[in-house]
A and B are shown apart, each in its own frame.
Chain A
């Protein structure tokens, strides 16, 4: 049912959104690596005034097993206010939750009980394949023509090309393949846009066979994983330009465009440079009429005192790669958070000048060698590292979880990655753990935790048409 007033979680501009009230619930994708129990969306109480603050207070089990829930998104967001096709009286109430391994997509309704969403629709992999030609759905964004769902693989066993499937805003039916002309693009991973400039950006990981059984060393050292960014005409659905970062920069994953619709730049994280195991963050920007990308952050590998403890996958190198697997940009475009999942560090940069990020804080937790504990449980060494990172709309709270992707967790943390979530309090001056917030171990029922979405929206959920 349409509303009489716009959904209160829609904001015309990022400036307005930064004044949004604090979230009270967080939704976290949780999956069973053994594929024996159903995956679930865990609901966390993130209201500091609540007696159950920092606890998992709700679970929504999926009806099947083996989905590997990963990323997910909202059915509607602030882009509904965009002037060319306004529909602001829809509700932000459904979570669109793809299974990265099963290619199934669930639709959850959070309206009746926000702390216990209900599964209201299941899109079977056959429908996704038949209508869009894709499998392995990944990122979900609410956009002008429908819901944009990136997918890593092709249909019916085809490795690729991966791309974007469009879902109807209201019925959630798969409308079809988004691309009209994909040019040379084959690999897919993330996609987002400069909505006010009719520009879509996409990134590259690998095809299903390159990732589903773990990272393949030969392919990695052979520089065969994705290493480019693609720029598209969002309106005409046409590929415009490929920007190759260089084939040593393997796996260009998360894309975080500036929220201010006047700006045309954004940040892309690269997992590893195979020449020196460093990780990097790139800035894409206009260069005249063309697009260009400039490396603005390099994070070197760390050489441990005792290389014996390295897992087989990196033992030959004698060093720990930082493995930048997620980044997130605050809604005011000032702070960039960078997850170093290998070394167990979460870095913060002041990116007021996007070409010259200035490191402005760092915390250590987990890590392949360090196993740094959380300050709330200093005796518990932690596996995994800061991975999916999400920032509240006001930029004051930062949430991280520790699993990357089932098969890859097992390679880099072979003795078990565990499950934990942490929260950091961020002010311009400080960046520290909230010691009251550390759900871990049995709190997640043995499931691994991946992306977090915050009630009402967060720094990577909404796009804005007004500056």
Chain B
């Protein structure tokens, strides 16, 4: 894993953490509703866990596939998938539906997993996963060992990305809860879903170009 890939992973984590729809807003809402900063703080790891699970599925799948299939094929397949998904996100008018505020921390994790998955959070990491030397190189002896190290590489990628996501989401959540207030939403809630969709298409294109 080179420095560029690592930086990209952290940047994408920060981008995901920034998006109110990925969970910091839900954490703030729960804290405000119960007048409890503790609940806000407890909600953040639950949200991060759901995000990690969603991203992890993709990361591990890609890493394991790469250990048995030609890297180029993974990159092309992934790139096409990504561009298609991004275009769908860009053009679709549908939005995530979930009707419920009173949920447990485990349900919050499930919510976060679903939210991240339908937004293709893991897919956005494809360029990093498919191009960078995500798998620690040099010690592979046969398929099993390759799959094993690919797995650990997938977990590493997920971990780095999620920590960055949690850090940014946490800082924003606490700032909004303690200092800024929610009225900021009216002016500062940029339509990240559209930026997000463009990012997906861009990530797909980048993966294809470098394949």
Say whether A197 contacts B102, CB under 8 Å.
yes
Tell me, yes or no, whether B94 is within 8 Å of chain A by CB: yes
CB < 8 Å: which of A3, A10, A13, A196 contacts B191? A3
**B95 contacts A87, CB within 8 Å?**
yes
Q: Does B99 contact A (CB under 8 A)?
A: yes
List A209-257 residues whose CB lies under 8 Å from chain B.
Answer: 234-235
A83 touches B186 (CB 8 A): no
Shortest distance in angstroms between A351's beta carbon and chain B's nearest beta carbon?
A: 22
Q: Kindly list chain A residues whose C-beta atoms are within 8 Å of the C-beta of B96.
A: 85, 87
| Number of interface residues, chain B, beta carbon within 8 A | 29
B94 contacts across to A, CB distance below 8 A: 170
A297 within 8 A of B: no
Give the shortest distance, in Å, between A202 (CB) and chain B (any CB).
16
Query: Residues of A contacting B190 with CB < 8 Å?
Result: 4-5
Whether B97 contacts A83 by the Cβ 8 Å rule is: no
B21 CB contacts on chain A under 8 angstroms: 86
B113 within 8 A of A: no
Is B99 a contact of A145 with CB atoms below 8 Å?
yes
What 0/1 readout, one digit per residue, does chain A (86-126) give for beta carbons within 8 Å of chain B? 11111000000000000000000000000000000000000
Chain A residues near B111 (CB-CB < 8 A): 84
A12 interface residue (CB < 8 Å to B): yes
Contact of B98 among A12, A84, A196 (CB under 8 A): A84
Instruction: Give min CB distance, B91 to chain A, whole Å.
Output: 11
**A12-B182, A84-B111, A466-B32 given; A89·B191 CB < 8 A:** yes
Whether A73 sits at the interface, judged by CB under 8 Å, is no
Q: When the two chains form the complex, which single residue of A3, A13, A82, A198 contacts B102, counting CB atoms closer than 8 Å?
A: A198
B104 lies within 8 A of chain A by Cβ = no
Q: Which chain B residues numbered 74 to 119 have a C-beta less than 8 Å away from chain A?
A: 93-102, 111
> A88-B185, A144-B97, A195-B101 given as contacts; is B191 within 8 A of A83 (CB)?
no
| Nearest CB in chain B: distance from A170 CB, A | 5
Is the C-beta of A467 less than 8 angstroms from some C-beta in chain B?
Answer: yes
Nearest to A80 among chain B residues (CB) is B95
**Contacting residues of chain B (1-26) with chain A, CB-CB under 8 angstroms:** 20-21, 25-26
- Interface: A370 (CB within 8 A): no
A383 vs B191: C-alpha distance when bound (angstroms): 51
Instruction: For the complex formed, measure the closest distance between the CB of B109 and the CB atoms of chain A, giving whole angstroms.
Output: 13
Do B186 and A84 touch across chains, with their CB atoms under 8 A apart? no
Q: Is the CB of B95 within 8 A of A4?
A: no
Distance between Cα atoms of A261 and B182 in the complex (Å): 14
Residues of A within 8 A of B29 (CB): 82-83, 196, 465-466
A166 CB to nearest chain B CB (Å): 11
Query: C-beta contact mask, B175-208 vs A, less than 8 Å → 1, else 0?
Result: 0000000110111011101100000000000000
Contact with B along A447-461 (1 / 0, CB 8 A): 000000000000000
Contact B185 A81 (CB under 8 A): yes
Q: What is the 8 Å Cβ interface bit string for chain B, positions 156-185, against chain A (1 contact, 0 not)?
A: 000000000000000000000000001101
A14-29 Cβ-contact flags toward B at 8 Å (1 or 0): 0010000000000000
12 additional A-B pairs beyond A12-B183, A89-B191, A196-B101, beta carbons within 8 Å, are A5-B187, A6-B185, A10-B186, A84-B99, A84-B100, A86-B20, A86-B25, A145-B99, A198-B100, A234-B100, A235-B102, A261-B33
Could you list 20 A-B pairs, sorted by A, with CB under 8 Å?
A: A2-B191, A3-B191, A4-B191, A5-B187, A5-B190, A6-B185, A12-B183, A16-B183, A83-B20, A83-B29, A84-B26, A85-B97, A86-B95, A89-B191, A144-B97, A145-B97, A170-B94, A196-B101, A234-B99, A235-B102
Binding site for B on A (CB under 8 A): 2-6, 8, 10-13, 16, 81-90, 143-146, 169-170, 195-198, 234-235, 261-262, 465-467
